[in-house]
Amino acid sequence: MENIDAVIIGGGPAGLAAAVELWNRGIRNMLVLEREHCFGGILRQCIHDGFGLTRFHETLSGPEYAKRFIDKAEELGIPRMVDASVISVSEDRIVKAVTQEGLKVIRAKAVILAMGCRERTRGALQIPGERPSGIFTAGVAQAYMNLYNRKVGKEIVILGSGDIGMIMARRLTLEGAHVQAVYEIMPFASGLPRNISQCLNDFHIPLYLSHTVTDIRGKGRLEELTVQKVDRDRKPIPGTEIIHKCDTLILSVGLIPENELSLGAGVLLDSGTKGAVTDEHFQTSRKGIFAAGNVLHVHDLVDFVSLEAEELADCVARYLKDKELPECSVSVLPGKGVGQMVPRKISGTEDVTVSLRVTGKMENCTIRVMQNGREVISRKMKKALPAEMIRIPVKADMLDQNGDVEVSVL
């Protein structure tokens, strides 16, 4: 068994940013484990640009963004492996990985979960109907087109208005496919407004809100879909059926943090984010196991993934040095209007940034952080959308060291 100070699971933007920052903090005995043949994670297939505006003050494509971190890891000589799939993490931080060198068993002082997220599928939505081919999640279609040079279809319908779905609508149109429409079950789009503008409106692709696919038909390949308008409870309204003749249905219906390994380690998950419950040091309910990036909560922007991973790395470096991090006994509770939030435990003695999403579209709202009946912070916002993560920095001197903190949006 090998002894390693920090094992990082996942070589995407979160894992690599954490590794580089750990190195900069003087940690050398570490290992990044990546299950794919290349580093970079999902950015490898995100060939569109718009990445890096916050961090690098320029607009990069996904592969270019990843390359900045891959090159840095290379330059520093950070220990890392590709084709290395972690199969288990135990409560006491024994990491088992299948690698090209055989089974690797590592005793880690700190484990960094950076596995990212996966897509919700047709199964998760329970769309009735037949089971023909031609139904893809947006990310799978993106991999086929952008990595493997495969055409996914000619006549396309997209269900879900997530960013990847809209980006694929543009990508498919540019490559000669006909995107008939994008349907969204909610009364608001789940992706960013600029993607509605530049990916749909630019190409005259209609977006229908409060609609969903209610039947799928096809022998072999997809032939026909039924779409219906839904009511406020998201129940299909009879008589509103629209029939689409198409060969491809693309699903962009949400991302879920990839936490099978975390569950195996006994890490407690948050029902809001579907990621680990973490404290302000990104430590999970298991001592020495940390999580950041999309495995913790799904982000809209990779800049915040890499930033969060660096904040995590600073905490892990401290943990490795001091063997202990300050206790976090103050609970942070999501109040009215808050759909999900990170972190859920804080010390009250250190500055912290709370990341949250609102439950629905709001205008002229106020985000309020309360503790012990006292207003800690209130921030007015012209608009707030579930698609946009909101980050609220809170200074330590504004907080008490006991008493729950509640965050609400009114």
Partner 1 sequence: MKKKLICIVCPNGCEITAETDGSGKVISVEGQSCSRGRDYAVQEMTDPRRTLTTSIRIEHGQMPLASVRLTAPVPKDMIFKVMDCIRKIRMNAPVKSGTVAVRDILGLGADLIITRDVPAEGTEK
Residue with tokens 């407690």: 268
Site string for partner 1, 179-208 (x = CB under 8 A): -------------xxx-xxx---x------
Question: In the set 142, 146, 161, 180, which binds partner 1 (CB under 8 A)?
Answer: 146
Amino acid in the structure at residue 268: L
Instruction: Evaluate the CA torsion angle 202, 205, 206, 207 in order and state its sign.
Output: negative
Question: In the set 36, 64, 215, 314, which binds partner 1 (CB under 8 A)?
Answer: 64
Cβ proximity to partner 1: between 7 and 302 the closer is: 302
Q: How many residues make contact with partner 1 (CB under 8 A)?
A: 32
Q: Work out how close the CB of 174 gets to partner 1 at its nearest, in angstroms, rounded to a whole number.
A: 5
Contact 372, 399 (CB under 8 A): no
Cβ proximity to partner 1: between 39 and 319 the closer is: 39
Cβ proximity to partner 1: between 201 and 378 the closer is: 201
Residue with tokens 């496919």: 177
Q: Does 149 bind partner 1 (CB under 8 A)?
A: yes
Of the listed pieces 94-102, 123-131, 140-148, 332-340, which binds partner 1 according to CB under 8 A? 140-148
Cα(9)–Cα(284) distance, integer angstroms:
15
Q: At what angle do helices 13-24 and 62-76 cross, to 10 degrees?
A: 30
Q: What angle do CA 27, 276, 301 make, to 5 degrees?
A: 75
Whether a cis peptide bond, with omega within 30° of 0, leads into 343 is yes
Q: Does 388 bind partner 1 (CB under 8 A)?
A: yes
Q: Does 148 bind partner 1 (CB under 8 A)?
A: yes
Cα(31)–Cα(95) distance, integer angstroms:
11
Give buried/exposed letters for 245-256 (b at 16+ CB in 10 A, else e). ebbbbbbbbbbb
Q: Does 38 bind partner 1 (CB under 8 A)?
A: yes
Cβ proximity to partner 1: between 148 and 364 the closer is: 148
Q: Does 335 bind partner 1 (CB under 8 A)?
A: no
Cα(276)–Cα(267) distance, integer angstroms:
7
Contact 48, 96 (CB under 8 A): no
Q: Work out how close the CB of 102 gets to partner 1 at its nearest, in angstroms, rounded to a whole number.
A: 20
Q: Work out how close the CB of 189 gets to partner 1 at its nearest, in angstroms, rounded to a whole number.
A: 11
Dmax over CA atoms of the chain, in Å, equals 66
Q: Work out how close the CB of 57 gets to partner 1 at its nearest, in angstroms, rounded to a whole number.
A: 11
Q: Does 155 bind partner 1 (CB under 8 A)?
A: no
Contact 156, 180 (CB under 8 A): yes
Cα(15)–Cα(10) distance, integer angstroms:
5
Per CB under 8 A, which of residues 276..305 are in contact with partner 1? 300-301
Of the listed pieces 11-19, 56-64, 256-264, 270-278, which binds partner 1 according to CB under 8 A? 56-64
Name the residues that contact partner 1, by CB under 8 A: 37-38, 44, 47-50, 53, 59-64, 67, 146-149, 171, 174-175, 192-194, 196-198, 202, 300-301, 388
